[in-house]
Amino acid sequence: MHYIPQLIVDALLLGGIYTLMVIGLALSFGVTRVINFAHGEAVMIGAYGAYTIALVSGIDPLLALPLLMVIGCLFGMALFKVSIEPVLKAPHVNQILLTFGIGLVLQNAAVMIWKADERSVVTPYAYSSFQFGEVFVAGGRLIGFGVALVLVAALFFWLRRTEFGRATRALDEQRDAAVLVGINVKRMYALAFGLSVALGVATGVILSFIGAISPFMGFHILVKGFAIIVLGGLGSIVGAVLGAFLLAFAETAVSYYVPNGTGWAEAVAFAVLFLVLVLRPRGIIGQAVAD
Amino acid sequence: MTTMLAVRDLHAGYDESSVLQGLNFELKKGEVVCLLGANGAGKTTTMAVLSGLVDASSGSVTYDGQDLLAMPSHRRVEAGLSLSPEGRKVFPNLTVEENLVLGSFNSKARAGRAARLEEVYTLFPRLAERRVQSAGLMSGGEQQMLALGRAIMAKPRLLLLDEPSLGLAPMIVQAVFEAIRKIAATDITIFLVEQNTHAALSIASRGYVMSAGRIVHAGSAAELRQSPEVRDAFIGGKSARTIREARHA
Ligand SMILES: Nc1ncnc2c1ncn2[C@@H]1O[C@H](COP(=O)(O)OP(=O)(O)OP(=O)(O)O)[C@@H](O)[C@H]1O
Ligand SMILES: [Mg+2]
B53-76 as b/e: b if 16+ CB within 10 A: bbebeebebbbbeeebbebebbbb
3-state class (DSSP) for residue B87: coil
Average pLDDT, chain B: 92
Residue ranges of domains in chain A: 17-215
Shortest CB distance from A174 goes to which of B74, B91, B110?
B91
pLDDT at residue B241 tops 70: no
pLDDT at residue B243 tops 50: no
Atom in ligand 1 nearest the alpha carbon of residue B15: 4
Lowest-confidence region among A69-73, B4-8, B156-160, B239-243: B239-243
Q: Hey, which residues 66-95 in chain B have their CB within 8 Å of chain A?
A: 72-74, 76-78, 82-83, 85, 89-94
Question: Is the CB of B114 inside a 6 Å radius of any atom of ligand 1?
Answer: no
Q: What is the pLDDT of residue A42?
A: 98
Please write the tens of the pLDDT for every residue from A90-134. Answer: 999 999 999 999 999 999 999 999 999 999 898 888 888 888 888
Q: What is the pLDDT of residue A279?
A: 79
Q: How many helices (H) and strands (E) does chain B have?
A: 12, 10
Shortest CB distance from A182 goes to which of B78, B89, B101?
B78
Average pLDDT for B12-27: 95
Question: Is the CB of B45 inside a 6 Å radius of any atom of ligand 1?
Answer: yes
**β pairing state of B81-84 and A135-138:** unpaired
Q: What is the pLDDT of residue B228?
A: 78
Q: What is the pLDDT of residue A258?
A: 87
Lowest-confidence region among A43-47, A130-134, A139-143: A130-134
Query: Which residues of A fall within a CB distance of 8 Å from B52?
Result: 179
Which residue among B20, B39, B163 is best mutated to probe the pocket of ligand 1, counting the most ligand atoms within 8 A of its Cβ? Answer: B39
**DSSP per-residue letters across chain A:** -THHHHHHHHHHHHHHHHHHHHHHHHHHHHHH----TTHHHHHHHHHHHHHHHHHHH---HHHHHHHHHHHHHHHHHHHIIIIIGGGTTS-HHHHHHHHHHHHHHHHHHHHHHH-SS-B----TTTT-EEEETTEEEEHHHHHHHHHHHHHHHHHHHHHHHSHHHHHHHHHHH-HHHHHHTT--HHHHHHHHHHHHHHHHHHHHHHHHHHS-B-TTHHHHHHHHHHHHHHHH-TT-HHHHHHHHHHHHHHHHHHHHHSTTHHHHHHHHHHHHHHHHHHH-TT-SSGGGG--
Contact yes or no for B53 and A163 at CB 8 A = no
Please write the tens of the pLDDT for every residue from B79-123. Answer: 999 999 999 999 999 999 999 999 999 999 999 999 999 999 999
pLDDT at residue B204 tops 70: yes
Shortest CB distance from B102 goes to which of A176, A181, A291?
A181
pLDDT at residue B63 tops 50: yes
Please write the tens of the pLDDT for every residue from A272-282. Answer: 888 877 876 66
d(C-alpha A206, C-alpha A202), whole Å = 6
Average pLDDT for A205-225: 95
Average pLDDT for A234-241: 82
N-to-C CA span, chain A: 37
Q: What is the ipTM of this complex?
A: 0.91
Please write the tens of the pLDDT for every residue from B119-167. Answer: 999 999 999 999 999 999 999 999 999 999 999 999 999 999 999 999 8
Average pLDDT for A27-33: 91
pLDDT at residue A286 tops 70: no
Q: What is the pLDDT of residue A242?
A: 93
The count of CB pairs under 8 A between chains A and B is: 70
Half-sphere exposure (CA, 13 Å, Cβ side) for B204? 31
Share of chain B above pLDDT 70, in %: 92
Q: What is the pLDDT of residue B237?
A: 41
Average pLDDT, chain A: 91
Q: What is the pLDDT of residue A87?
A: 94
Q: What is the pLDDT of residue A237?
A: 84
Q: What is the pTM of this model?
A: 0.89
d(C-alpha B41, C-alpha B25), whole Å = 15
- Which residue type is seen at A108? N
